[in-house]
Structure 1
């Protein structure tokens, strides 16, 4: 399942396992050396003269290469605890044999046999204990803490059973909901087909499921493009699975299912669809937002807050509902730049807007009004870089006018974005301007990288210094 849909918890467990293995393997090396030299089984002076640090470096390099070659930490391995056991056994044996051979030939010293025996014992002991604990994590914690990643499988009864069988129910961190339909779709009109699946997509989205596998049976292939658009509208990642089964009949009359990797056609495949990239981006967001909150907002909020209060009665912050990831709304923080008014949640600021206060005009021109959104970033509701969050009314309005508009909600919104640094910010009376924003947002999703985020941050800083004509 991890090949098609990634689970945040499982990705974190994999990263934690990598760090724990690296730390404990080095600890095993140090303990083995200390034990062998302390009890006089190995000569410490000879070990140092034969280049102890070279031996330690080789130890780590062999462990790294072997784990990569044998795919100890691959997504497929992490799917089942049995796969982890098998990969751990192969990796441990291969690693110890190669390291022992290299050490014996390249770094001979008195007592090296005792040292290698101690290293092997500590490594094996750690492997047994760590995988025993990992078994507890896989078998007990997903149920206790509801760590399941829910997905939906939609298909006709004639095909659903066979394809559902390919999605093994033994995945500890995944839960599969099936939505069968019985009457043949081929007998209904095109509009009725689309209405049916729109209803399915809406149902799963409301249930918090955003990864859907649709069995691409012959009766729906003519509406595939429309189905992708319908799924996008509900912030659902649609994957097509061919309706196919296969079996082999042997001479004994026994029937065995032909096992294969289930072919899946994804409607969207962006860099940010991988959990590793999301986690890396989240760690950077946490680092940046923490620094800004501690060293900038800590003194900026009191100073700007006092000026806001002097110029206009009301709160310091303006908290407006905005559309977030998967179209879930959240309260987006800004320094209040207008007088308190009843239209603030529905009407955008326009040029020479009478509602804007003098300090508000300065804040908006320099983008300083956006700084409280680092609180949203810290809370995990936003990212430093991403598509700008829109008002709920705008999301509802433009999602009906602009194709692929809702795709921008597959990722967290950002304080700044690719569209904004290219000049598309401010008021959007013309739907064409919003369409260009969406175009840049989708380009960002398709080409995301850490360096692109860094470039956008630098461009934003430059724009803040020189001012922007569309900021009012």
Structure 2
């Protein structure tokens, strides 16, 4: 039932794209003949739509054919419950870029231009914008369905480990994801009747059909006997139910491996992180420098003296607070901030607490608005930091948490950032427990493993929104 609904939404998107492709094709042909006629002889009349079809139907068929061939290769229409809109946007940009090559090529191969270069650019941009708007609408339409308990994927959770309850809490809080847990299977739920696996006294096949189960999540390294786990996996595969795993540690390195085949033999190979690629490092570095330079020229140039005067009038001490932090590969650097505390020997070793008495009056305002971080754009220009990345922690915090949180040091794999995914996810501010730091590190590791240009842009946008709205986690 739920799969049919998803297929309907996918078919609707395919139909909309085809309709837009055809309508805009003829509309822009009309514009081409009316305003961009390039032949030396005059045009006697504007062709009718029927005449346009008769003259250019082969090009239209080729457009539609290549559109869906490319869409198939990059999975443009394969929408999953866990897919984020930034992934949809990335696929659409990639697809439109490739399709634009076809548009320019076909236009150039014809004896008279199908579209002039200027019109071809507008045509491709029009397809992109309409595709973006329609996908944005369908994305939020699906989320609204999930929130209203419609179009829900029903799943089973097998066994339990340290992260099973976190997984269940996440799905309970994020109704928009559209996944509902029907039951958690333990040893007590299992039985074998005449050699057939039964769940809660019902044969496995009948159970999944009765409850419309679409997926099974198995808790890795749980308490259940391995023979029973294998029985569930085999029964799931027999009944075409996909299986996923809830890892026993959210910091382990399983996502660093990918399967490659030598002939038909599968082997594991270490997967490169996106920022392993020199090209990505260069592009991110260029973006950081340009962004930081623009902020320094147009914002920091006049705001720096104003804030400096306010700090000077509010309390005695230096304008900037300079503290050693660990950066790329754990190398120490001087991190700049506007001073927000009274001078104290504890400022460099004691983390900020809620209602901290060390914070000055102007310091409270600077922290609440994140203006105290502005001098770090100078760190970006120096090459010590990036615009987006894991926030640099106090060295004392690094020494403490790397001993108790697995994969903690992986956050030093990239340059620290002025803002980061953890901050826009709500994991900034005071560290009241080890769990608070675990949430921050988990999100930082996700960023490192899944970095993209669009993810950086999304984080910058969400940071600006948080600053304008006011971040309740800022202290």
TM-score of the superposed pair, with normalisation by structure 1:
0.45
More relative contact order, 1 or 2 (CA 8 Å, 6+ apart): 1
TM-score of the superposed pair, with normalisation by structure 2:
0.44
